[in-house]
Amino acid sequence: MRRPADESAMDDDIRQIVQEHGRVSDDVSALGRDADLYDAGMTSHASVSVMLALEDRFDVEFPERMLVPSVFQSVAAISSALTELRQPARTS
């Protein structure tokens, strides 16, 4: 099953940011989308650097409810969070 081009581009950007800021010992481009980034060496401290770089790159701000390790656990989890944050605000 192919992923949409925009998801693939987002994943590439996420991987680059994790590689640069996540202090991961593995080659992030070789990890699966669901691979645990903490198991690959990212610390909670490094995840803050990743979060700040993601906010800058994607022009979003992670709300307090998303400041939990599971949001930054994998490329897929990060992508899902960013997709949610980039959705237009719903008005009632």
Residue 92 included in any domain: no
Band of the pLDDT at 2, cuts 50, 70, 90? Answer: very low
Residue 91 included in any domain: no
DSSP the chain: -PPPHHHHHHHHHHHHHHHHHS--SS-GGGS-TT--TTTTT--HHHHHHHHHHHHHHHT----GGG-SGGGGSSHHHHHHHHHHHTSPPP--
Range of the structural domain that residue 57 is part of: 5-85
pLDDT of residue 88: 77
Band of the pLDDT at 15, cuts 50, 70, 90? Answer: very high
Residue 70 included in any domain: yes
Which residues have C-beta within 8 Å of that of residue 14, sequence separation ≥ 6? 54, 75, 78, 79, 82
How many independent structural domains does the chain possess?
Answer: 1
For the segment 63-91, what is each residue's pLDDT rounded down to a tens digit? 999 999 999 999 999 999 999 999 876 65
Give the mean pLDDT of 38-51. Answer: 96
What one-letter code names the amino acid at 40?
Answer: A
pLDDT of residue 1: 38
Residue 18 included in any domain: yes
pLDDT of residue 26: 86
Could you tell me the CATH number of the domain that includes residue 64? 1.10.1200.10
